[in-house]
Amino acid sequence: MALIVNPILGIEGVTAGGNATGSLRVGPRYHTLVFFTYLNGALVAADSVIGRVRLMVNKKDIRSLFAAEILKINAFNKHPDTAGALSIHFAEPWQTDVDAMIRTAWDTTGEQSFTFSLELKTQAEPTDIVRIEAIQVYDNGHLFSADGKTLVKFIMRQLRTTYNAGAGQYDITDKYVGNRIARLFFDGPSNITDLEIVADNLKIHDATRVENNTLLDRYGMDPTQFKYAYVADIIGRTEWLMASETLNLQLESAAGQTITVIDESLTGSFA
């Protein structure tokens, strides 16, 4: 099925320091959104114009990250954005085959609304003019269960949480129990030297940053974008880790720091 590429029209509130908003038609299966940022008529780095990006379906946050974090995730997956662009990937072009790639496209069939909000940064001069242009990439395909009767949705959520971690060992306990975790990105001012993950009393992951980075690099990722990254779907088939009772993330770092954890988890609906 051919992809449809159209501009996103009617973005409102585009002014430095403001909040730009827009809506998309429900029904299509969305693969990608790309925002282009201009300052005084020239393309500029997206994270110099856009702060937080929120994507909402049925008025509920499904993704809420800063533009700088989205750019880093794209670069981590070896799909860096060109200067002035910010790509929001629903279908994941870094997966190993077409089926895996489009599995996570956002099928909005039956949903009530699909909206976005861009927090725009204040610029150096009051006369600076900000402009946002955007395109949407979608099709009208659907993914059905094996019997061909039930519509199946794999929705990749992206949400962030911050933790004030002391030097040495720091544990995050049971925060992500029940989530189908595809990836966890850890970021902060200092390196995380080691990560151990124990899910339902089974040790799932235990590696130093150097060891983990070597593995991720071998599988075609750029682990230098974050202080640590745990990737459950490392083989490129949208796999996940899910703990039903207990989940402990044990971090090691040389210095106390505020750590941001970006949780990419799969759900079967936008609810």
Provide the pLDDT for residue 30. 99
Provide the pLDDT for residue 11. 98
Tell me the domains of the chain and their CATH numbers. Answer: 4-153 (2.60.120.730), 156-267 (2.60.120.730)
Strands 60-66 and 155-165: parallel
Provide the pLDDT for residue 181. 97
92 contacts 153 by C-beta, under 8 angstroms = no
Give tens-digit pLDDT for 198-246: 999 999 999 999 999 999 999 999 999 999 999 998 887 678 999 999 9
3-state secondary structure at position 223:
helix
77 contacts 231 by C-beta, under 8 angstroms = no
What token pair was written down for 268?
């079967």
118 beta partners: 20, 53
Q: What is the DSSP letter of 233?
A: T
Q: What CA–CA distance (Å, rounded) separates 160 from 65?
A: 7
What Rg, from alpha-carbon coordinates, does the chain have?
A: 19
3-state secondary structure at position 13:
coil
Q: Can you give the pLDDT of all 271 residues of the chain as single tens digits?
A: 789 999 999 999 999 999 999 999 999 999 999 999 999 999 999 999 999 999 999 999 999 999 999 999 999 999 999 999 999 999 999 998 888 899 999 999 999 999 999 999 999 999 999 999 999 999 999 999 888 878 999 999 999 999 999 999 999 999 999 999 999 999 999 999 999 999 999 999 999 999 999 999 999 999 999 999 999 988 876 789 999 999 999 999 999 999 999 999 999 999 9
- In the chain, what are the helix, strand and coil shares in percent, each to the nearest 5? 10, 45, 40
Which of these, 162, 168, 165, 192, lies nearest to 263 by C-alpha position?
Answer: 162
> For tokens 């992500």, what's the residue?
176
Burial 48-86 (b: 16+ CB within 10 A, else e): ebbebbbbbbeeeebbbbbbbbbbbbbbbbeeebeebbb
92 beta partners: none
Q: What CA–CA distance (Å, rounded) separates 137 from 148?
A: 25
Give tens-digit pLDDT for 122-137: 999 999 999 999 999 9
For residue 236, which amino acid is it? G
Q: What is the DSSP letter of 123?
A: P
